[in-house]
Amino acid sequence: MRNIAIFSSGSGTNAENIIKYFSNRETGKVTLVLSNKREACVLKRAVKYDVRSLFFEHADFYSSDAVLDLLLKNKIDFVVLAGFMLLIPENILSSFKGRIINIHPALLPKYGGKGMYGERVHKAVLANSEPESGITIHYVNRFYDEGDIIFQAKCNVLSGDTPESLASRIHELEYAHFPEVIERLIEKLP
């Protein structure tokens, strides 16, 4: 049984979906939820499921081993970024090589990079009249949205789509695929 930590900066609907999925699996369990936003909804969602949830300060993340120590102390095997908006510092990347993944709400390498998150991604996709969009799950490195791609799923962009309607179709794809991709990866961990 692997221990999963989720980092999230906002609402945390993906985090909740992953927590629920792993609540009755033998492969893994979400045992820690971390956020850089004190008021993030994701922290309240985690509490509902009795998952330890903690806020951390920006300075602790980048200028100390405080967050790394939390991961190690909680015996975390695998780290999932679900709506997390910061780059992961080198100390955590090097301790969790091949064990940190992110989900992005578009078909990378398009529509990624710094500042490309949430609604901004969907607005850009619509502004360019893309016929399709989707989700990308990828390994995390020290650049925004550039790690090796693990999985993609597509959906059509419909005429009349708004950023909200596209976001909701993308969220459905995320809910359907993200937990299973995580499970496949933790099953293969050495």
Give the residue, chosen from 4, 5, 61, 83, that forms a contact with ligand GAR under the rule CB under 6 A.
83
* Angle, vertex CA 8, rays to CA 168 and CA 110, nearest 5: 55
Task: Respond yes or no: is residue 171 known to be catalytic.
Answer: no
Pick 51 or 121: Cβ nearer ligand GAR: 121
Q: Give the Cα-Cα-Cα angle 97, 99, 104 (nearest 5 degrees).
A: 115
Q: Quick count: other Cβ atoms within 10 Å of Cβ 111?
A: 21
CB of 190 to ligand GAR, least distance (A): 28
Please pick, from the candidates 70, 77, 98, 118, the single residue that binds ligand GAR as defined by CB under 6 A: 118
- Quick one: which of 2, 4, 14, 68 contacts ligand GAR (CB under 6 A)? 14
- In this chain, which of 33, 71, 82, 125 binds ligand GAR, going by CB under 6 A? 82
Q: Whose Cβ is closer to ligand GAR: residue 15's or residue 46's?
A: 15
Rounded to 10 degrees, the C-alpha dihedral 167/116/148/177 comes to: -10
Interhelix angle for 13-21 vs 41-48, to 10°? 20
Q: Which of 117, 147, 173, 182 binds ligand GAR (CB under 6 A)?
A: 117
For residue 183 the two structure tokens come to 């499970």
Interface mask toward ligand GAR for 17-36; x: CB under 6 A = --------------------
Q: Is 7 in the site for ligand GAR (CB under 6 A)?
A: no
Kindly list the residues in this chain that would bind ligand GAR in the complex (CB under 6 A): 8, 10-15, 82-83, 103-105, 117-118, 121, 170-171, 174
Just list the catalytic residues: 104
